[in-house]
Chain A
Amino acid sequence: MEKLLLALLILVSIALPSSSLHEDQIGKFDWIQRGIGSVHLAQFDESGSADGGPARRLVVATQHNVLAVLNTKNGEIMWRHVLPIGATGTIESLNVQEGKAVIVSDNPPLLRSFDVLSGTLIKEVPLKLHYKPDSLYGKRLVQHDSSSVTVAHLTSNTAEITRFSNLKTGAQEWQHSISQPWISSESQCGLTEVSLTCVDASLGLVLSLPFSRLGKTTGKEPQFISTSLESIGLSVAVTSDDDADCKFRSIPITLQNVHGSPRHLLITSGESSSVLQVGSDGSVTPVKEAGASSGAVSVVDVTQADDAVIYRALHHKQAIRISGFSLALGTELVSRSLQFSVGAEAAVRMLVVQQYQRRGDGEVAVRALVVMHDDSVHLVASPGVLWLREEALASVLAVEAVDLPIPASSVSMHDHMAQRAGVLHSLVHRVMLQGSELLSWLAELLEDSLSPSHSSPDSPPALYRDEFNIHKLLIIATASGKIFGMDNLSGALVWSEYLPSIQPLPSDKLLLFLQRSVAHFPHPPQMVLVAMHKDSCRGVVHTFNPLTGEPTGKGLEFLPYRISQASMLAQNDQQFIKPLLVVDTSLGVHAFPSGTELSVVLPHKDVLYIATRNSTHITGHSLRSSTKESLKLTPLWSQHFPPGTIEGVYTKRPGDKVHSAGRVMADRSVLYKYTNPNLAVVVARGLDHINENLLGVYLVDLVSGAVVDWISHSRVSGPVHVIHSENWVVYTYYHDRNRRHELHSLELFEGPSQANATAFSSLAGAQRPPLVERQAYILPFGVQASAHTITEKSITTKCLLLALDTGGIAQVARWLVDPRRPMSGGGPREEGLVQYMPEVHLPSTDIISYNQTLPRVSGIYSAPTGLESTSIVFVYGLDLFFSRVFPSKMFDMLKDDFDYVLIAGALLGLVAAALITRKLAQRKALYHQWK
C-alpha cells in the first residue's frame, strides 16, 4: 500500500506543470550584466604576449573588493573574485608578474597570489604583525613588489612600518614605530619602495622617511627629511572652512602613489599637480615636465623601461589627451601621445599605460587604461577608445522605471482619455479615435508600400511603448553622480549624464522622484534627483527629462541649505507636476518647482515625519499652520523607540493598491483588512541588560504617532530586511541563539466589520486596535535584499523577492509565509492555506535567476506593467539582473509557445469542413427529393 502511494506521489510530482524556465527560454525575458566596481588598482599582464606585443589581459582590483581579469580585446570579464566586504577583503596593493596576480588584503594582512589565466589561488601567506592592527582607527598603506611587502599603519601621532621580505613564510624583516606629532590617520602619505613620504598642509612641508635610515636596530628615533612645498612649486589652496562639519570636505593637498613606478608620487593641490621622485636618501625632487599643466587634473603613469616616460592625461571638456614625457630626453614624445574624447565631462582619476613593440614596424606603441571620475573604464589605443565599461552601474543607489511615450500617431487618443465623461460619450469618443487610428495606420501602410526605403537602418530605434507596456526606461542614479537611462528589455544604455559636483546624501542615498509621467502630453515627463554638493554638503536638486536626460526647468539647482528630508506629494498641480517638498536641517520647508501653488499642498492634511539618524526618536510635524504664502512645520508628536537606535522606517510604497478589502473566511464571513496607508514599520536595535542583542519592531501610525503594535525579539541580530505592503509585513533577521535566519510574518485585520468602508482616517475617533496575526518561519538561507512584486491593479497575488546570500533571486509566494496558516489539521480551512510548517520550502524552480549567481545585491526594484499578471524585476548591486515575473502564472496571456498555426489551421479546417459538408448535405437532400 505504501509503495503504491509512493509511486502515485512520484507520478503526481512528475505530472505537475513546471513553473520554471525552460532551457531555451534562458535570456528570453532576462539579462544579466556583470560588473566589477570602481577600479582603483590595475596592471597589464604582460606575460601572455610572448613577443612583447600588447597585453591580452588586464588585472584590476576595485573598491568593491573585486579582483578581476579583463580581456583587453573587448573588455569582458575573464574571471573575477568577489572578496568579502569590509577590511577583510580590501585589496591594498596589486602586483602582476610572471602570470601571477599578487594582492595584499587589508585586515588581517594576507598576501594572496592568483593565476592570471585561470583565476585559481596559488598561495596565501598571512603577514604577521607584532602590533594589534586596528583598521577602524587607522590608515593602512601597502607597497609591494616581487620580493618584499611594506606595510605602514598610521594612527594619531604614530606610524608603524613593517617590512616583509620573505614572501613564502610571511616573516618580518624589520618593524619600526615612529612617533611624530603631525601624524594622524588622515595624514596624506605615500609608500615608495625606499621611503614613507607624507605631506602636511598645515606645516607646508613634504616629509620623507627613508628606510635606509631605519636600519636593522631600533636605536634612536629616526628623523624625517622635510622639503618645503614652495621649493616643489606648489602652494596650499586655502579653502574657506565654513562647513566644518561637512564630513566629506575636500582635502587641500593630496599625495598618491603612481601606477607603474615604486619611486614616484603624485602630489595634487587644488588644480595643479606635480610628480615627485623620491631618492633612496629620502630626497624629494619634482620632475620637470615640459607640458606640465595647471588647470587640469592629471594622473601620471611612469613606465620603467630604458627611459622612464611620464604619461599625463589632460582633459579639456570632453577631449582627453594623454601625452608622454621622456625623463631622459626631457622632451615630450609626440609619437606616444593619445587623444580621444569621452561622453561625459569627467576628469581622469587613474591612468595605467602599457608600452609595447608594434608587430609590423617594431615601433613603440602605447595603450592606456583610463579610469574617469564617473567610474567609467576606457581602454585607449592610437585609433581611439577600444572599449568602455560603465562601472558606475556597480554602485546603483536609486532606480525608477518610466513608461515610454505612445507613438505620435496615437497620441491624440490617450491625450483626451483623461477627461471625465459619461460612459456613452467615452464610448463614442473611443470608437471615433480607434477609427482615426485605423485610418492613419492604413495611410502609413500605403506610404510604406509607395516608398519602401523609408526608414534608414542607421537611425536608432525610437523608444515607444509596446503593446503591454513591458518596455520601459529604467532611470538609474549611481554613487559616482552619473545618471543613466537604460532600456529595460535589452539592458542597453539610452543616455547618460554625469553630474561632477554631486555626491550621495550622508545616509548614502540619492532620491529619484518622477514628478510628471508621460501621460500628460504635450507636457514632457519630469524627474527630479535629490543629492548633495561635493564641497559644501548643501542640497542639490536636479530636474531632468527622464526620456532624454536633458535638464528641464532650472536643471541643476544648488540650494543654500542642507537637506534633512525630501519627499514628493501625492497631488498634481495645474501643470500635472507633483511638487517636491524639501525640508532643510533647520526645519524650513521648500517646495519644488519653486513657483508651485501652495494650494496643492494646503487642502490636504499632510503630516511630515522625520526620523533622525542614530537616535531613538521620531518626530512628526504638521503642515497645517502653513499660510498661502509660506510653508511652516509645527511639531505634532514625538515617539521614543527602545531599545536602541532606530535602524529603519519602512512605509508602504506610495500609491500601494489593495484590491480586496478583506479576506473571506471558511464560513464565508469577511475578515476586513487593516489598510492604514500611514502605517510604518520602525525597526530599532539595541542591547538588553545582559548585553544580548535586542530587536524592537514597531507598527506606527505616522499621522497620529500612535504605536499600533510592537514586538521585541531578544537575541536577534541583523541585517533586518523589511517588506511592507497592503496589510502585511514580512521581515527577516538572524537569530543568534538558534543560529539561523528567520522570517517573521505579520498581517493586520480590522475584524469582521469595518468602521468606515469609504475613507480611512488615522485620527477618526477612538479606534479599535487591529487584530495582528503573526507567525515565524525558518529560512534555509540568508537574505541580501528584499522586495515584493508590484502589479498594476494588485489583483495578482504578491510574491516576495528575496536576494539570497547564495546568489540566487528567489520568488517566494506570499501564502507560503502567511501568518494564518493553521497550526493543526482540524477545523475549516481558508482557501489556499496549507498547514503550518516552520521551514520555508524553496524549490529550485522558484529561483528566477536560475543558475546565475548574483553577489552583493544591494536592492531589488519591481514595477508594474500593462499586463496584470506580469511584473518587472530589476536587481542591482555589483551585477545588474533584469527579469519578468508572473506571480500567479500568465493568466491573461497566451504562453509564448502557443501554437498559433495549429489553432488557426484547425479553425480554418473546421470552417471549411462545415461549408463543404453543408454543400454535400444539400446536394444529397436534393438528390433524395428527386428519387
Chain B
Amino acid sequence: MTVRNSSLYSLSTGAPKRRWGVELGGGGRKDRISDALPSPPGYNPNMQICSETQRSPDSQKLVVKKAWDLALGPIKGVPMNLFLLYMSGNSISIFPIMMVGMMLMRPCKALFATNATFSTFEGTQAILQKATYLLGNLAQIGLALYKCQSLGLLPTHASDWLAFQEPASQVEFVHGGFGLW
C-alpha cells in the first residue's frame, strides 16, 4: 500500500485533481515493485470470479405480478377518475378543463410509450398485459371524452358545424317591381 502525494502523480498522468490519493491496487511505475511482492494468503490471481445469480421461482412470480400491476394500473385508476370527474362538475372553468386535459393527455402519452414501459418485463403474458394496458388507457380516454361531451366540448351538434355551411345557391332569379308607369 502506497500513500503519496498524488499532486505530483497527477501531473504526470493527467488524472483528476486530488490532493491526496490512496492507491490500493498499485500501478504506474511502482507496478514492477508490487509484482515482486507475493500475493496475500488465500489470493489466487488466476481464479476467475463468477457470480451468476440464480433466479428463484419466487422472484419470477414477482416480476409477472409487477407487470400485471402495471398493466392493470389504468383500469384501476378509472373509478378514482370517475369520482374526480363527478366532483369537478359540468361547469366550464379552469380546473375541470385542466383535469380533462390531463386525463386526455396522460393515457395518450402512455399509449405511445407502451413498448418502452413493458421493455423491462418479458414473459409469456406480455401480449396479454399490453392488451390490458391498452384497454385500460382507452377506457381512460373514453372517460375523458365522456367528460368533454358532458361539458359540451365535443363538436357533435349541428350547430357546431353551422359556421362551415356554405350559403345555398340560387336556382331561380326574380326581377321587376312596382310598375313604373
- Give residues in A with beta carbon < 8 Å to B: 505-507, 509, 511, 530, 562-570, 581, 583, 585, 604-613, 646, 648-649, 651, 657-662, 664-665, 668-670, 675, 677-678, 702-703, 756-764
Contacts and interface: CB of A to CB of B under 8 A. Distances in A.
A704 to B, nearest CB: 9
B177 A606 contact: no
B174 A509 contact: no
Nearest to B157: A668
A564 B175 contact: no
Nearest to A614: B179
A648 B178 contact: yes
Most buried by A among B167, B170, B172: B172
A662 B161 CA distance: 11
B174 A611 contact: no
Contacts of B170: 570, 677, 759-760
B56 interface: no
A506 B171 contact: no
B162 A661 contact: yes
Contacts of A756: 168
Contacts of B41: none
Contacts of B162: 660-662, 664, 670
Given A677-B174, A763-B171, 5 more contacts: A565-B175, A611-B179, A613-B179, A756-B168, A757-B165
Contacts of A661: 162, 165, 167-168
Interface in B138-172: 152, 157-160, 162-163, 165-172
Interface residues of B, number: 24
A693 to B, nearest CB: 21
B166 to A, nearest CB: 7
A569 B174 contact: no
A603 to B, nearest CB: 11
B159 A664 contact: yes
For chain B, what secondary structure do more than half of its interface residues adopt (helix, strand, loop), or is it mixed? mixed
B57 interface: no
A562 B181 contact: yes
5 contacts: A507-B178, A605-B171, A609-B174, A611-B179, A659-B167
A15 B87 CA distance: 37
A506 B181 contact: yes
Contact of B177 (A651, A658, A662, A763): A651
B47 interface: no
Contact of B171 (A562, A651, A669, A760): A760
A581 B87 CA distance: 69
A565 B180 contact: yes
A702 B157 CA distance: 34
Shortest beta-carbon contacts, A-B, top 5: A761-B171, A567-B175, A664-B159, A668-B157, A609-B176
A678 to B, nearest CB: 5
Given A507-B178, A565-B180, A611-B179, A760 B173 contact: no
A562 B179 CA distance: 11
Contact of A670 (B159, B168, B173, B174): B159
Specify which of B159, B160, B166 lies most central, judged by the most chain A CB atoms within 10 Å of its CB.
Answer: B159
A581 B181 CA distance: 15
Contact of B175 (A606, A760, A763): A606
B85 to A, nearest CB: 21
B168 A565 contact: no
A611 B177 contact: yes
Contacts of A764: 171
Nearest to B171: A761
B181 A703 contact: no
Most buried by A among B152, B171, B176, B178: B176
A611 B162 CA distance: 37
Contacts of B168: 661, 675, 756-760
Nearest to A561: B181
A567 B177 contact: yes
Nearest to A511: B180
Nearest to A680: B174
Given A661-B162, A664-B159, A670-B159, A649 B171 contact: no
Contact of A509 (B157, B167, B171, B180): B180
Given A670-B158, A675-B167, A610 B179 contact: yes
B167 A649 contact: no
Nearest to A657: B167
Nearest to B178: A611
Given A660-B163, A661-B162, A661-B165, A668 B174 contact: no
A817 to B, nearest CB: 23
